[in-house]
């Protein structure tokens, strides 16, 4: 990891990006309300049967999702990559991590909810990508790729087809983490050799969450823009007419 940077306002973030990456670098951003390792949700899964391997359970989950989700889908996914993206988007544990090309969206996810403790902090991870497909030395894999997600030898960036309105609204991309049959099956992305030397961590004290939340709203980034549906609308209306628990009355 290149280092961590203290951040107290939205202008701190935009200034840092402009100064650190003044050129045409392709940057991805990931916001977290807590400074947890960048492990995919499936890595934290505890299989119901002790004799069932985590990686086998992962594939059972996606097969079950493929069988049972069809009546609820906006459009039918065409590849396993598409299925993973839709499943991740709706909360199924997968080997995907959410990223965005929109820095403001990532900051929103870091400060959206009040922190559990006043001395805690959120983070925004910043990653500089290498152009090109993984077979050509780049970081990317296409959602139409013939490579199977469960046989990756290195982690990569998935360019998703827009199979959900929220993926479009959030400028959504994913990293897909390679797995190992030996425990631990997954490493945090910040521990992987191919990624760690291109990662920065922007650290936001929880005391700054309320101010940054309002700064984002003035810039047009709020629950309604992030979640363009009735759920997002209701969340935005509630916030505009009442105070979150970390905001003064």
Tens of pLDDT, residue by residue over 79-117, are 889 899 889 988 999 999 999 999 999 999 999 999 988
Mean pLDDT score across all residues of the chain = 90
Count Cβ atoms below 10 Å from residue 110 Cβ, excluding itself.
27
How many whole angstroms separate alpha carbon 143 and alpha carbon 195? 21
CA angle 219, 220, 225 (to 5 degrees): 150
How many whole angstroms separate alpha carbon 104 and alpha carbon 95? 24
**228 contacts 169 by C-beta, under 8 angstroms:** yes
Q: pLDDT for 181-199, tens place per residue? A: 888 899 999 999 889 899 9
State whether residue 195 is helix, strand or coil.
helix
**66 contacts 18 by C-beta, under 8 angstroms:** no
When pLDDT is cut at 50, 70 and 90, the band that residue 163 belongs to is: low
How many whole angstroms separate alpha carbon 16 and alpha carbon 71? 45
Q: What does pTM read for this prediction? A: 0.91
**130 contacts 199 by C-beta, under 8 angstroms:** no
DSSP code string of 122-170: EEEEEEEPPPSBGGGTSSEEETT-SS-GGG-SS-EEEE----SHHHHHT
Q: pLDDT for 34-87, tens place per residue? A: 999 999 999 999 888 765 689 999 999 999 999 999 898 877 888 889 899 889
Q: pLDDT for 123-143, tens place per residue? A: 999 999 999 988 888 999 877
The torsion of the CA quartet 140, 175, 202, 188, rounded to 10 degrees, works out to -120
Kindly tell me the sign of the dihedral angle through the C-alpha atoms of 207, 103, 90, 218: positive
Rounded average pLDDT over 13-38: 94
CA 169 to chain centroid: 14
**111 contacts 215 by C-beta, under 8 angstroms:** no
Report domain extents, the chain: 3-241
What does the pLDDT read at residue 228? 85
Query: 248: closest CA among 207, 197, 220, 218?
Result: 207
């Amino acid at each position: 990891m290149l280092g961590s940077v203290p951040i107290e306002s939205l202008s701190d973030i935009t200034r840092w990006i402009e100064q650190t990456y003044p050129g045409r670098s392709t940057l991805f951003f990931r916001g977290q309300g807590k400074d947890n390792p960048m492990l995919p949700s499936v890595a934290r899964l505890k299989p119901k049967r002790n004799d069932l391997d985590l990686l086998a359970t992962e594939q059972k989950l996606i097969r079950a999702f493929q069988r049972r989700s069809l009546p609820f889908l906006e459009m039918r996914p065409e590849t396993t990559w598409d299925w993973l993206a839709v499943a991740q988007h709706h909360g199924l544990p997968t080997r995907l991590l959410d990223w965005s090309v929109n820095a403001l969206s990532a900051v929103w996810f870091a400060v959206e909810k009040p922190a559990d403790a006043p001395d805690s902090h959120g983070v925004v991870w910043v990653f500089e990508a290498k152009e090109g497909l993984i077979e050509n030395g780049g970081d990317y894999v296409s959602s139409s790729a013939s490579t199977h997600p469960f046989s990756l030898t290195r982690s990569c960036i998935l360019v998703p087809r827009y199979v959900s309105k929220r993926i479009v609204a959030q400028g959504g991309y994913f990293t897909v983490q390679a797995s190992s049959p030996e425990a631990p099956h997954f490493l945090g992305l910040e521990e992987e050799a191919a990624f760690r030397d291109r990662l920065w961590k922007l650290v936001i004290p929880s005391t700054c969450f309320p101010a940054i939340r309002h700064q984002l709203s003035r810039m047009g980034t709020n629950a309604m823009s992030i979640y363009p549906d009735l759920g997002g609308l209701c969340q935005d209306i509630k916030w505009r007419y009442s105070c979150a628990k970390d905001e003064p009355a």
